[in-house]
């Protein structure tokens, strides 16, 4: 049995328990065993000095692509797990657009076994809504949920048929899992590859209008309200989507939503020069949209920050813009980028932590996301003063596709503990430290 871990002298931010102050935290047997305003003394404990550091529940990323099985040159469950814990994430939800797609318990089981072998963070699975993510027939959601899937989604692809989506919601409601929706009307996005607007017009790139997202958000909110299903809106990017979401929440619709760090930090001007690392779906939008998603994150309309970690090889990106793959890696930059909103005064530190912990855990009804007595001993420690420069060459991820290369940021994950085990400490993984 490993010794208890005592995290001493840190500033504990645990929004679920409204804690934002100096606390000592004792972890024992994989759970939280004491949270104390007074200094704790536990002779046999392994101590971590957290003086000057922020101690928070282990961060949860509801939206990552780990690429295994099928595209192991981009990422594997092991490399993605290393990237996750080094970025402060103790739980990630792996999207089903693998090859083969995670539309059967067989694939779910494979991913779970691989993550047990990687033995770093908790890798949870999102199962497919439709077989092969084709949007034609429902996947065996019951079997997927029984195998451990925590939500269903055809992420990366919308379910274009409203009738099928309605059935998926009715069915998922019965299973007690949320339906996560990549909101895109393909007849509106068509051959588009960046946001519609002055920048697309200047670059001569086929545009994706906002209506491609907003119209589908509207459709799915109507369906969620009618079916009583829990709907989770993935990576919102448009001001109007946020307005619809806000109104739906007010009416009591069971909807949650996430936003990515890149939609919070960048506009479509990042595409200038045909920068393929700024190509993603949904595309980067304009200033008004960035302001709207920031505001919605700040006021709680948007529940979670999720990275949409999307690793791609150099070859996938170093091509003509319209042929380049969508998406960027995010696990190792999410926290530092989101912290910029704290330094700018957009988010309070507790609100930021909430969006990385209890926000996502409530959306998917996951254990964790809080540090009450008996909660899983998943803890992330951040040095809020550490200044560093984002350098893709130093990523644990197998991929390097980031538009944030060279960006100077403030705030860095120093420790990550999963189930009471210190898996990452100051730049080194547990396995490297050994």
Partner 1 sequence: MSDRRADTPSLASRHLLGIEGLQRSEVEAILALARQYKQGLKDGIQRTPLAGKFVALLFFEDSTRTRSSFEIAAKSLGAKVLNWSPTGSSLSKGETLLDTVKNIDATLRNMDSGGPSALVIRHRSSGAPTLVSRQVHCSVINAGDGIHEHPSQALLDAFTLQERLGSLNGKRVMILGDILHSRVARSNVHCLRLLGAKVIVSGPPTLMPAGIESLGCEWAPDFREVLGSLDALMTLRVQRERQTDSFVPSMREYAARWGIGRAVSDQLKPGAVILHPGPVNREVELASEVVDGDRSVILEQVSNGLPVRMAILEMCA
Is 308 tagged catalytic?
A: yes
Q: Site residues for partner 1, window 35-94 (CB under 8 A)?
A: none
Applying CB under 8 A, which part among 144-152, 198-206, 346-354, 374-382 lies near partner 1?
Answer: 198-206
**Counting contacts by CB under 8 A, is residue 238 touching partner 1?**
no
Based on the shown chain and the rule CB under 8 A, indicate whether residue 303 belongs to the binding site for partner 1. no
Q: How far apart are CA 152 and CA 145, in angstroms?
A: 8
How many CA atoms lie within 13 Å of 290's alpha carbon, on the beta-carbon side? 18
- Among 185, 196, 220, 354, interactor with partner 1 by CB under 8 A: 196
Q: Which of 54, 89, 171, 321 binds partner 1 (CB under 8 A)?
A: 321
Q: Quick one: tokens of 88?
A: 């402060």
Distances from the Cα of 184 to the Cαs of 62, 233, 281, 432, in angstroms? 19, 11, 9, 42
Total number of residues that touch partner 1 (CB under 8 A): 22
**Measured distance between the N- and C-terminal CA atoms of the chain, rounded to whole angstroms:** 17
From residue 105 to residue 144, the character string flagging contacts with partner 1 as x (rule: CB under 8 A) and all else as - is ----------------------------------------
**Rounded to whole angstroms, how far apart are CA atoms 361 and 124?**
12
Residue carrying structure tokens 């990366």: 156
User: Does 318 help bind partner 1 (rule: CB under 8 A)?
Assistant: yes
Radius of gyration of the chain (CA): 21
Instruction: Choose which of 47, 274, 295, 362 interacts with partner 1 (CB under 8 A).
Output: 274
Give 284's DSSP letter: P
**Which range binds partner 1 by CB under 8 A, 5-13, 168-176, 250-258, 312-320?**
312-320
**CB burial of residue 269 (10 Å; 0-12, 13-18, 19+):** middle
**Window contacting partner 1 (CB under 8 A); options: 8-16, 18-26, 165-173, 311-319:** 311-319
Nearest residue to 62 (alpha-carbon basis) of 362, 303, 379, 360: 360
DSSP helix/strand/coil, 328: coil
Residue 296 CB, nearest approach to partner 1 (Å): 24
Q: Is 406 in the site for partner 1 (CB under 8 A)?
A: no
Closest CA to 180 of 398, 363, 422, 410: 363
Of 14, 24, 155, 308, which is the active-site residue?
308
Kindly tell me which of 61 and 286 has the beta carbon lying closer to partner 1. 286
Binding partner 1 by CB under 8 A: which of 315, 345, 393, 406? 315
Query: Which of the stretches 53-61, 113-121, 199-207, 247-255 binds partner 1 when contact is defined by CB under 8 A?
Result: 199-207
Residue among 100 and 206 whose Cβ is closer to partner 1:
206
Q: Structure tokens of 149? A: 């899937």
Separation of alpha carbons 253 and 87, rounded Å: 33
Give the shortest CB-284-to-partner 1 separation in angstroms: 15
If residue 177 lies in a helix (H) or strand (E), which one and from where to where? none
Considering only the stretches 130-138, 150-158, 195-203, 304-312, report the one whose residues sit in contact with partner 1 under the rule CB under 8 A. Answer: 195-203
Among 179, 205, 239, 290, binds partner 1 (CB under 8 A): 205
Q: Which residues contact 97 (CB under 8 A, 6 or more apart)?
A: 65, 133, 154, 155, 156, 157
Nearer to partner 1, 163 or 320 (CB): 320
Least separation in angstroms between CB 333 and partner 1: 24
Task: Retrieve residue 122's tokens.
Answer: 């908790």
Nearer to partner 1, 272 or 394 (CB): 272
Identify the helix (H) or strand (E) that includes residue 40: none
Binding site for partner 1 (CB under 8 A): 196-207, 209, 273-274, 315, 318-323
Which are the catalytic amino acids? 308
């Amino acid at each position: 049995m490993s010794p208890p871990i005592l995290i001493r002298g840190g500033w504990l931010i645990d929004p679920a328990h409204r804690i934002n102050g100096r606390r000592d935290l004792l972890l024992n047997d994989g759970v939280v065993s004491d949270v104390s305003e007074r200094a704790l003394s536990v002779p046999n404990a392994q101590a971590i000095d957290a003086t000057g550091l922020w101690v928070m529940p282990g961060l949860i990323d509801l939206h990552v692509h780990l690429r295994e099985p099928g595209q192991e040159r981009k990422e594997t469950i092991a490399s993605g797990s290393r990237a996750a814990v080094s970025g402060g994430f103790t739980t990630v939800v792996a999207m089903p657009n693998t090859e083969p797609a995670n539309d059967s318990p067989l694939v779910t089981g494979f991913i779970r076994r691989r993550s047990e072998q990687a033995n770093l963070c908790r890798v949870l699975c999102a199962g497919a809504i439709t077989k092969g993510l084709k949007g034609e027939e429902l996947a065996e959601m019951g079997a997927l949920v029984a195998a451990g899937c925590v939500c269903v989604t055809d992420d990366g692809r919308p379910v274009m048929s409203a009738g099928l989506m309605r059935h998926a919601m009715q069915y998922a409601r019965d299973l007690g899992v949320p339906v996560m929706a990549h909101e895109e009307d393909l007849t509106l996005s068509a051959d588009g590859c960046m946001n519609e607007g002055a920048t697309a017009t200047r670059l001569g790139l086929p545009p994706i209008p906002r209506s491609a997202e907003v119209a589908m958000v509207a459709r799915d909110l109507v369906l969620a309200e009618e079916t009583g299903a829990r709907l989770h809106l993935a990576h919102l990017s448009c001001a109007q989507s946020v307005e619809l979401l806000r109104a739906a929440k007010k009416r009591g619709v069971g909807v949650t939503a996430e936003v990515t760090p890149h939609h919070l930090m960048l506009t479509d001007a990042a595409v200038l020069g045909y920068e393929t690392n700024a190509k993603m779906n949904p595309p980067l939008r304009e200033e008004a949209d960035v302001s709207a998603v920031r505001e919605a994150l700040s006021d709680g309309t948007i529940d979670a920050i999720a990275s949409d970690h999307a690793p791609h090889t150099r070859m996938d990106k170093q091509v003509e813009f319209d042929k380049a793959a969508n998406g960027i890696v995010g696990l190792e930059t999410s926290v530092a980028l989101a912290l910029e909103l704290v330094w700018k005064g957009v988010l309070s530190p507790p609100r930021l932590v909430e969006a990385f912990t209890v926000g996502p855990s409530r959306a998917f009804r996951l254990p964790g996301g809080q540090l009450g007595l008996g909660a899983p001993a998943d803890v992330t420690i951040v040095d809020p003063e550490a200044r560093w420069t984002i350098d893709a060459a130093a990523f644990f991820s197998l991929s390097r596709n980031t538009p944030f290369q060279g960006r100077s940021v403030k705030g860095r994950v120093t420790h990550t503990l999963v189930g009471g085990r210190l898996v990452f400490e100051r730049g080194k993984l547990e396995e490297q430290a050994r």
